[in-house]
Structure 1
């Protein structure tokens, strides 16, 4: 996709292609989700939540315009320090609290980001400070987001990953930082497993999809297989994770 003068294509954009930076702003093509995202970001700003871009309206080309948050966004999942996990858990709780009881949440407890992996977080001086890419934001249960965050920030089936006990200890740190209460701790593992299953199903729905595609079939099959390995790793070690959360 061609960009205009002074426009810098930004990495990512898997769901919404054509995302560019122009000076201190980010421009994105309007989608069916645009009005909800705009209202959500306006509410977050009104509530004093600083961990998200500001919505700035439409530009002359009819694109959604957002403030650009300086910093770095990790290109891949990796291991994180306890301090980084604590900041991430607190950031997610603040996001949820800013939407709790709002019209946008409807009959659900909060509005969920629904993709709060480290690849959708801006880091400054090594610490997570803001979420980006609210394309999938929608009413939901807090555990949908926390389960996904616990998986993508703490849990890994890779042979070189930290031990399962170390991973479980970090899930506990994340839950503590979020302020998860005792009843919900008993079902956090179910939420993690559910998000791993849902991730595999999300990718499967994109097999042989028409253009434009989020990835080719080989990449999609690899992501489905990875999601299943992650689910199996979590399920086999469930007792270790559950013990850490008690």
Structure 2
């Protein structure tokens, strides 16, 4: 049975993992099937001096122990400034480069975080400086993470920001990441794929209510949101593609 120290401070957030707490300068998370891979990934980051992620400190009483990263983690998606979007793109590229060609990436180009939204970024002095919550990390294509980042950092269907301005920020993200050539031309497909995948992810959880991390109404709202965002992106595809070109 997992034991939580008496001086633990419960940390907010976390749509999938409950019971995450801070103890002094460490964060403790319930161990899971992904613990071994995440531990190896964080240790690889440390070895190659990528400091945009927590350090893995071990496991005690069924809890993975990570270093605590000071800063702010946004509770909600919002409109970001250009320098914040650019910093997110550069940080994503640095994370990918830290695993490019590694044993952990295997036959894939990199290890992907698979949830690089602003809600999983630690902000310092107003800029994203690190990623947290690597539960879904796995080998993959850089465009998997980039597509999700472009959506969650730059695009919103229910937003007063004109779609042309949203497209400009997708370009800023791509430029900061250093995306070039054929991959740049596949960005919109990558965004649409992540939006569709997100809708399917929450739908699959709704099909198993006994183990779902939220109630049916919450899951339904996340499915509806993902589908609405997909429709918005598809309808404005040419605007986004013109900005990237």
TM-score bin, normalised by smaller chain: over 0.9
Q: Which whole-Å deviations, capped at 9, do the CAs of 1:36-65 have from their partners, x for residues lacking one? A: 000000000101100000000012x23110
Partner of 1:153: 153
Q: Which whole-Å deviations, capped at 9, do the CAs of 1:162-182 have from their partners, x for residues lacking one? A: 100000000000000000012
Q: Does 1:5 align with 2:6?
A: yes
Q: Does 1:106 align with 2:106?
A: yes
- Structure 1 residue 3 displacement after superposition: 4.4
- TM-score normalised by L of structure 2: 0.97
- Structure 1 residue 18 displacement after superposition: 1.0
Runs of 5+ consecutive residues of structure 2 not aligned to the other structure = none
Instruction: Work out whether residues 3 and 9 of structure 1, in 8 Å CA contact, stay in contact via their aligned partners in 2.
Output: no
CA distance in 2, matches of 1:139, 1:209: 26
- Structure 1 residue 152 displacement after superposition: 0.1
Partner of 1:55: 56
* Partner SS state of residue 229, structure 2: helix
CA distance in 1, matches of 2:204, 2:44: 32
Q: Which whole-Å deviations, capped at 9, do the CAs of 1:143-187 have from their partners, x for residues lacking one? A: 0000000000000000x3310000000000000000001211111
Partner of 1:223: 222
User: Which aligned pairs between 1:59-208 and structure 2 lie closer than 5 A?
Assistant: 59=60, 61-158=61-158, 160-208=159-207
List structure 1 segments (4+ residues) > 6 angstroms apart after TM superposition.
Answer: none
- TM-score normalised by L of structure 1: 0.96
Partner of 1:213: 212
Partner of 1:26: 27
CA distance in 1, matches of 2:23, 2:228: 40
Runs of 5+ consecutive residues of structure 1 not aligned to the other structure = none
* Partner SS state of residue 241, structure 2: helix
- Structure 1 residue 2 displacement after superposition: 8.6
RMSD over equivalenced CA pairs, Å:
1.3
